[in-house]
Structure 1
Amino acid sequence: MWSFLFLTIHIFVGITMGSLNCPTENSHPLKFHLVRQCQRASAHDALALENVSSLEECANLAQELRGLAINYAPGGPKRTINIFEARVSTNVTEKQKHIRSRLTVFEQPGEFFNCHVLQCPQNTSFSGMVNDSRFDYYSLYGRPTVLQNYSCVPEVGLFVVYTQPSGYLNASLKCTNSSEFTGSLAHIASESRTSSLAQWLLDFNKKTPSSVQPETNVFLAYVGLAYNRSTSLNPLDFRNSQQESLNCFLYRAWAVNHPRLGSELTNASCVALTPQGTWQTLNCDRELPFICEIHTAKTSNELDQPDSQLDIGKNAVLECDNY
C-alpha cells in the first residue's frame, strides 16, 4: 500500500515538474568560444588566477566562479615564450627591467598563471587586449555584438536597457527579434540577478542628473517574467522568456502587495523590476522601459568544426599559427 502511494506521488510530482518546464544542466549549455589567438585580456580585476592542466579545467573553474571570459595559455613548444616581448626586449632599459622585477605575481599574471578567469568579456573595441603569444582569449559570448550601448553586469551577463517605453509584448519582441544580438527580456529569478540589475538601474539613473533629463530615469523596467492563464498552471505560475516557471526557482523579490492578480489582470500579469530590487506586477499594456539580456553564443554539435567565433578583424594577430 505504502509503496503504491509513494509511486503515485513520485509520478505526480514528476509530471508536475515536467509541465513547469524547469531548466536542466542541458537546457542552456555554456561554452567558452575562442575569440582571439595570441592575445589576452587585461586580468586586473580577474575573479581567479590559477595554474591548471587543461583548457577544460580552466573553463570549469570559470563556470564555478561565474566568470564570463577567460585567458588560457595552452603551453607547448611554440607557446611558452611571449614572442612579442622578445621582439622589444632589446629596447628595454636596465631600469625598466628592475622595475618589472619588483612587481608581484598578481601584477604579472601572464608570467605566473596559465588560467585567468575574467568578470566580463571584451567589447567591440577590444581595448583591454594585450599581444601575448602564450595566451588565447575565450568568451561565453564569442565575438562581441555590434551593439554599442550594452553593459556587462560582472558575473551575471550582458544587458541593454531601452528607455523608450513600450508595452510588454512589444518589449519582448524587441529583445527576441533584434538584428544586433540574440536575446530576450532579462531573466531575474535569482538573488544575484535581481540585486545586480537593480543596482545597475540605480547607477543608470545617476548618470543623467534628474534636473537635466528626468524622463530618462528608470523607476520600473519590464523583465522576463509574466503570468498568462492560457499557459500557466496556477495564478502564481509566472514564466520567464524561455517559458520556465518561477516555481522552478527558490528566489522571490515581490514588493508589498505583489503579485497583484485582480480581475483587471486576469489574462496576463507582467513583471517589472524596481531600482530597490523588488518585483511588481502590472497590466501588460502599460508602457515602460525594459531590459534585454544578450544570450551567450550558441554551441556547435560538430566536434570537428572550427570555432566560428574566432575574430580575425582589426588588431587580431593573424600570424599566430606560425609561432
Structure 2
Amino acid sequence: MHSKFIRILVFFGCLTIISSQLFCSDLLKRNHTKFHPVRHCQRSNKTRIAAKNVANLNKCIQFAEHNQALAFNFGHGKRPRKKGDQVGDLLNLFDVKRAKEENKTKIEKDLHALEENTDPYFDCEVLSCPEVGNMSSLINDTRFDYYTLYGYAPENSTCFPSVGLFMYYYDERMNYTEATSTCEGHRGYLARIVSDIRTNFISFMIQQQIFDINKATVGILQSTFNESVNVPLEIPIKHAFIGLKELRRKGNFVDSLDIPLKCFLYRAWAPKYPSEESRPGCVAITASRSWKMFDCRKRAPFICELKPTKPRRINRRKFNRRCSLKRSNN
C-alpha cells in the first residue's frame, strides 16, 4: 500500500513537470516575428552574417531565421527586365549606368571591370542589424530588395546584433508603470533580460553611458578650468528598470511578455536578492550585470526593447516590377 502511494505521488509529480514544460514551451513559441519588404531595388550595406543562393523568398526567410538575422537582402532573379538589355543579372544596373556616364568611350571595358571586381553573388544576404532612422546604409541595387523585422526603427535606437533594437532612457526618471507606458508608446516594452547574452549586453549599455557622461563632463571641466582632471566623476546612473516584475504572490516573476521567470533557467540576482520585502517589487539591471529589486514606485532610468513591426505604408505589388534607373528609390 505504501509503495503504491509513492508511485502515485511520483506519477503526479512527473505529470506536473511535463505540464509546466509544455506550458512554457507554448508561451515561448508565441513570440513569432515576420519580415516585411521595405525598399524596392535597394540593398542594405549593414554587416552581413551569412549568404547563400536560394530557390525563392520563403527559403531566404528560413535562412534568415536560422541565422537569427534581423533583416536581409533578397535578389528577385525573375524580376522583369528592360527589353533588349544584355547585361547579366549579376551586375547592379545602377553601377552600369554610372560607368557609362563617367566614361562613355570605354563602355565595354568598364563593364568588364565591373564583372571582374564584383563580389561573389548570392541572392540571399542576411544581416545582423536592420536599417534605422533614414536608412542611410541603403545602396541602390537592381539585383535586390530589402526586408526587415523593423518597419519602425527610430534613429536613436541601438541594435543588439541578432537580438533586437533597444532604446535607453538614461536621462529620464520614471516609476515602473510610467516606464512601461513610455515603451509602449514607442511600439515596444521594457527590455527582456532573462538570458546571459541579454543581461551582459544591456549592462554594457549602462556602462557605456556612464563612461560617455564621465568623458563629456571631464571635457567640460578641462575646457572651463584649463586643467587636467584624472579622477572619474561619480555619476548617479547605477541601474535601470527592465521587463521583470513580481506578482502579488511573492516570488512569482513575469517578464514583459507575461512569461513566468520559472520558464527560464538563467538568473543574475545580486547578493541578497530577491528580497523578502512585504511589497511586490520591480526589477532593475545594474552596470555590474546583476538584477536588483526595487519598489515599483521608485523613479529610475529604464531601457525599452522595440517590437518587430510592419511598415506604416507599403505597396507589395511594386516589388514585382522592373527597377527604374531614373528613380533612386523605386
Counterpart amino acid of 1:287?
R
Offset from partner CA, 1:121-174 (integer Å, 9 cap, x none):
1112111111112111000112x34x4422212111111111211111221122
> Is 1:218–2:237 an aligned residue pair?
yes
Give TM-score scaled by structure 2 length.
Answer: 0.77
Q: Are 1:48 and 1:118, in contact at CA under 8 Å, matched by a contact in 2?
A: yes
Identify the match of residue 57 of structure 1 among 32, 56, 59.
59
Based on CA coordinates, which of the two structures has the bigger radius of gyration?
Answer: 2
**Considering only aligned residues, what root-mean-square deviation do their CA atoms show, in Å?**
3.1
| Deviation of the 1:308 alpha carbon | 6.1
Q: Are 2:189 and 2:243, in contact at CA under 8 Å, matched by a contact in 1?
A: yes
> What does residue range 144-159 of structure 1 map to in structure 2 within 5 Å?
144-145=152-153, 147-159=154-166
Q: Are 1:227 and 1:236, in contact at CA under 8 Å, matched by a contact in 2?
A: yes
1:133 aligns to what SS in structure 2? coil
In 2, distance between residues paired with 1:288 and 1:222? Answer: 7
Identify the match of residue 85 of structure 1 among 67, 92, 95.
95
> What does residue range 254-293 of structure 1 map to in structure 2 within 5 Å?
254-262=269-277, 266-293=278-305
Report the equivalent of 1:169.
177
| Deviation of the 1:226 alpha carbon | 0.8
- Change over 3 Å in CA distance of 1:141–1:311 after alignment to 2: farther
- Change over 3 Å in CA distance of 1:74–1:101 after alignment to 2: closer
Report the equivalent of 2:197.
192
Report the equivalent of 1:35.
38
1:49 aligns to what SS in structure 2? strand
In 2, distance between residues paired with 1:199 and 1:148? Answer: 20
Report the equivalent of 1:303.
none
User: How many percent identity over aligned positions?
Assistant: 30
In 2, distance between residues paired with 1:217 and 1:187? Answer: 23
In 2, distance between residues paired with 1:28 and 1:182? Answer: 15
| Deviation of the 1:204 alpha carbon | 2.3
In 2, distance between residues paired with 1:289 and 1:60? Answer: 37
1:13 aligns to what SS in structure 2? helix
In 2, distance between residues paired with 1:22 and 1:286? Answer: 34
Offset from partner CA, 1:237-266 (integer Å, 9 cap, x none):
21111211111011111122222223xxx2
In 2, distance between residues paired with 1:39 and 1:124? Answer: 16
Could you list the runs of 5+ residues in structure 1 that have no partner in the other structure? Answer: 299-306, 313-317
1:47 aligns to what SS in structure 2? strand
Identify the match of residue 125 of structure 2 among 83, 108, 116.
116
> What does residue range 101-140 of structure 1 map to in structure 2 within 5 Å?
103=117, 108=119, 112-140=121-149
Greater mean deviation of Cα atoms: 204-213 or 125-134: 204-213
- Change over 3 Å in CA distance of 1:16–1:101 after alignment to 2: closer
| Deviation of the 1:322 alpha carbon | 3.7
Counterpart amino acid of 2:280?
A
In 2, distance between residues paired with 1:186 and 1:175? Answer: 9
Counterpart amino acid of 1:70?
F
Q: Are 1:133 and 1:320, in contact at CA under 8 Å, matched by a contact in 2?
A: no
- Change over 3 Å in CA distance of 1:319–1:121 after alignment to 2: closer
In 2, distance between residues paired with 1:21 and 1:291? Answer: 26
Offset from partner CA, 1:91-130 (integer Å, 9 cap, x none):
3556976875664x6xx3xx51111111111112111111
Could you list the runs of 5+ residues in structure 2 that have no partner in the other structure? Answer: 82-88, 222-232, 324-330
Give TM-score scaled by structure 1 length.
Answer: 0.78
In 1, distance between residues paired with 2:238 and 2:179? Answer: 16
In 2, distance between residues paired with 1:183 and 1:87? Answer: 42
In 2, distance between residues paired with 1:268 and 1:186? Answer: 19
